[in-house]
């Protein structure tokens, strides 16, 4: 039979996984060697490296173990990718580490795989790291798994030893969601059942590993239905052209089809699909293209173009699995950066539901996650993201968390869906509070009263004019017939927050309570005006994360410390100078100005009435009021 031309052969991405020293690198080296995929110069380098390490025969593991530390220790540390092809199919294989401290690298290597080859040492049986990688494979939604029972030469090619491993792994895998699992006994060192069937294991009739790789259904993870196009870059070479560049995450689109842009919700039609090689009739998953639209609408990096009538979930609360990949443990309610497609937003892990015991698959209560822990969490983002569940669409269902202080990737996540809003249990009443949806939804209240709910958060130094502006604004909105509520720091300090001091921890708790109260009035459909010093950016971000992005307006009320000290409407600066008010913001405690507020008003230059009018304009522009 004639070989299939290279361009017509499909591509299978697969990853190897398993415990350390199970022979993953040797197996890949054997595949490349026996399929004649190594060049002569590679073979010469391989022979020389093997001799330097004291091996009489070719050490095939060195094909992928390229780091000096890997060759010296004979382990895999980083993920190594290799390409090879046979007459039937092309392959990209990721050789992932087996050591537990490098589990995060395994997640990276397997995240795009269509198939996972999990190796088990026939002489050792199923080890904890083998089970851990099987769990990760299941969470990543990899549809096909081959369990390669390696080193059969060490057990004399004994069928009973192979059958025992099959029984143990099958019993464990029954608790996972992987449906297609096959077992292949082999010896990567000697080449038994890797590329060709082995006469030493005549009792096995399932075909070689390569036969399975060549015949398994490839591309099963690609979502061919839901069109998702995260915008990466806006191309505007001149006034007559405006295009949106990116890679099609899933699905396809043709010129003339109606689309919707998220988060704005604006509608248009695709005008053209352009590539480096010229125009195309269709944009398909995996292709880098430039889309143009028939209508001139505002689209920016981080937006997503989807087909009209087939939109993803838009939300700020996520139910997700995460694999923690950093030496510093996860901190609940600490701000992280969440990178999802081309969109990066601030995010907080607001709750840990449980940590998964990979040996037993039992769910363990947890207050944090450590390095390589896998857990189910709830995440709240500062702005909406546009997602599908990971099992439906890996491109829009996966994300990573980044530590903003170190810029290190600390977690990889798989979205299960939108999280339900529910209060966290307290030690005093672990199960007393049960979440119920709002009896009258906010949308119904907004329709009845003729305007949308919103939170206007005014922050600035004491004496900058926050409350004065808030009062002008409330009167103006009230005159328009709007439902309003004004929350002032002094009001809450005399009631709800009277038990709190002015320490950094108590300041954070003060703003947390204020944010929760504001959210309650917001769900009533009110325009909530919040006048709080709120000196720390992290606390303000936490409030922002409670609300839809389009309905939260942060206003920085700017005035110098000297101006505020001259005004001193409550005499606080004078008292702070005498030492009567410890930790006073602007004098003996810091204030962190917002880096990107929706509006800044300088009360040294504008009046409270003018500042109020500027906020009204912002509310109109956002569609909060007419």
Average pLDDT (505-521) is 89
Give yes or no for a contact between 196 and 362, defined as CB atoms under 8 angstroms apart: no
Confidence band, pLDDT 50/70/90 cuts, at residue 357: confident
> Among the residues of 127-192, which ranges form H helices?
128-139, 159-173
Determine what percent of the chain is predicted with pLDDT higher than 70.
87
> Is residue 293 over pLDDT 90?
yes
Report DSSP letters for 1-59, one per residue. Answer: -PPPPGGGS-EEEEEEEESTTS-HHHHHHHHHHHTT-S-HHHHHHHHHHHHHTT-SS--
Q: What is the pLDDT of residues 42-98, one digit of tens each?
A: 667 766 665 666 666 666 667 665 433 333 444 333 467 788 889 888 998 887 765
Provide the pairing of β-strand 454-459 with 552-558. parallel
Q: Which one, of 293, 411, 271, lies nearest residue 352 by Cα?
A: 411
- State the first-to-last Cα distance of the chain, in angstroms, to the nearest integer: 72
Q: What is the pLDDT of residues 565-578, one digit of tens each?
A: 888 888 888 887 77
> Is residue 613 over pLDDT 60?
yes
Average pLDDT (153-178) is 91
Full set of structural domains in the chain with CATH: 6-215 (3.40.50.300), 228-307 (2.40.30.10), 314-418 (2.40.30.10), 447-621 (3.40.50.300)
Provide the pairing of β-strand 409-418 with 313-324. antiparallel
> Is residue 619 over pLDDT 80?
yes
pLDDT, residue 122, reads 93
Q: What is the pLDDT of residues 381-413, one digit of tens each?
A: 888 899 998 888 888 999 999 998 898 889 989
Average pLDDT (436-446) is 76
Length of the chain: 626
Supply the pTM of this predicted model: 0.61
Least confident of 215-219, 325-329, 446-450, 482-486: 215-219
* Cα distance between residue 600 and residue 522, in whole Å: 23
Confidence band, pLDDT 50/70/90 cuts, at residue 458: very high
Give yes or no for a contact between 136 and 16, defined as CB atoms under 8 angstroms apart: no
Catalytic site residue from 272, 534, 560, 607: 534
Q: Is 503 a catalytic residue?
A: no
Which residues lie closer than 8 Å to 136 by C-beta, 6 or more apart? 17, 103, 106, 107, 110, 323, 374
Give yes or no for a contact between 247 and 288, defined as CB atoms under 8 angstroms apart: yes
């Amino acid at each position: 039979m004639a070989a299939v031309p290279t361009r017509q052969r499909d591509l299978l991405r697969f990853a190897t996984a398993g415990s350390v020293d199970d022979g993953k690198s040797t197996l890949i080296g054997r595949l490349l060697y026996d399929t004649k995929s190594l060049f002569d110069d590679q073979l010469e380098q391989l022979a020389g490296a093997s001799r330097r390490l004291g091996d009489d025969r070719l050490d095939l593991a060195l094909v992928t173990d390229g780091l000096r530390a890997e060759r010296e220790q004979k382990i895999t540390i980083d993920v190594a990718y290799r390409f090879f092809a046979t007459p039937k199919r092309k392959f990209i294989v990721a050789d992932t580490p087996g050591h537990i401290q490098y589990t995060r690298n395994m997640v990276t290597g397997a995240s795009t795989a269509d198939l996972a080859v999990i190796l088990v040492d026939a002489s050792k049986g199923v080890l904890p790291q083998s089970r851990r990688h099987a769990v990760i494979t299941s969470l990543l939604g990899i549809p096909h798994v081959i369990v390669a029972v390696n080193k059969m030469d060490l057990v004399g090619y004994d069928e009973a030893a192979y059958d025992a491993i099959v029984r143990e792994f099958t019993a464990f895998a029954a608790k996972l969601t992987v449906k297609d699992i096959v077992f292949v006994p082999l010896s990567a060192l000697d080449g038994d059942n890797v590329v060709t069937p082995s006469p030493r294991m005549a009792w096995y009739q399932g075909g070689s590993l390569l036969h399975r790789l060549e015949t398994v259904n490839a591309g099963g993870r690609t979502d061919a239905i839901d069109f998702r196009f995260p915008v990466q870059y806006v191309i505007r070479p001149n006034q007559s052209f405006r295009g949106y560049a990116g890679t099609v995450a899933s699905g396809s689109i043709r010129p003339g089809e109606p689309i919707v842009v998220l988060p704005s919700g604006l509608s248009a039609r695709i005008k053209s699909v352009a590539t480096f090689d010229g125009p195309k009739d269709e944009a398909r998953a995996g292709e880098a293209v430039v889309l143009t639209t028939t209508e001139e609408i505002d689209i920016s990096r981080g937006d997503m173009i989807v087909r009209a009538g087939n939109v993803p979930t838009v939300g700020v609360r996520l139910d997700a699995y995460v694999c923690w990949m950093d030496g510093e443990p996860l901190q609940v309610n600490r701000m992280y950066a969440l990178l999802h497609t081309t969109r990066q937003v601030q995010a907080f892990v607001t709750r840990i539901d449980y940590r998964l015991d990979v040996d037993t698959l039992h769910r363990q209560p947890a207050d944090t996650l450590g390095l390589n822990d896998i857990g189910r969490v709830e995440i709240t983002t500062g702005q909406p993201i546009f997602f599908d569940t990971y099992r439906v669409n890996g491109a829009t269902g996966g994300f990573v968390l980044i530590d903003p202080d170190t810029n290190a990737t600390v977690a990889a996540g798989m979205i299960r869906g939108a999280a339900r809003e529910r209060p966290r249990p307290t030690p005093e009443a672990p199960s007393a509070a049960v979440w119920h949806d709002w009896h009258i939804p906010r949308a119904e209240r907004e329709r009845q009263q003729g305007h949308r709910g919103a939170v206007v958060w005014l922050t600035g130094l004491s004496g900058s004019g926050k409350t004065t502006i808030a009062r002008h604004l409330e009167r103006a909105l009230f005159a328009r017939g709007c439902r309003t509520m004004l929350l002032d720091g002094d009001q809450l300090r005399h009631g709800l927050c009277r038990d709190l001091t002015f320490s950094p921890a108590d300041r954070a708790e003060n703003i947390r309570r204020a944010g929760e109260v504001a959210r309650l009035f917001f769900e009533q459909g009110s325009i909530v005006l919040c006048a709080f010093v709120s000196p720390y950016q992290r606390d303000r971000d936490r409030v922002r994360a409670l609300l839809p992005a389009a309905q939260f307006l942060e206003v920085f009320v700017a005035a110098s410390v000297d101006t505020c000290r001259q005004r001193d409407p409550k005499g606080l600066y004078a008292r702070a100078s005498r030492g009567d008010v410890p930790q006073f913001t602007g004098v003996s405690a810091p204030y962190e100005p917002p880096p990107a507020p929706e509006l800044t008003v300088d009360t040294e230059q504008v009046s409270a009435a003018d500042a109020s009018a500027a906020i009204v304009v912002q509310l109109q522009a956002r569609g909060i009021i007419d």
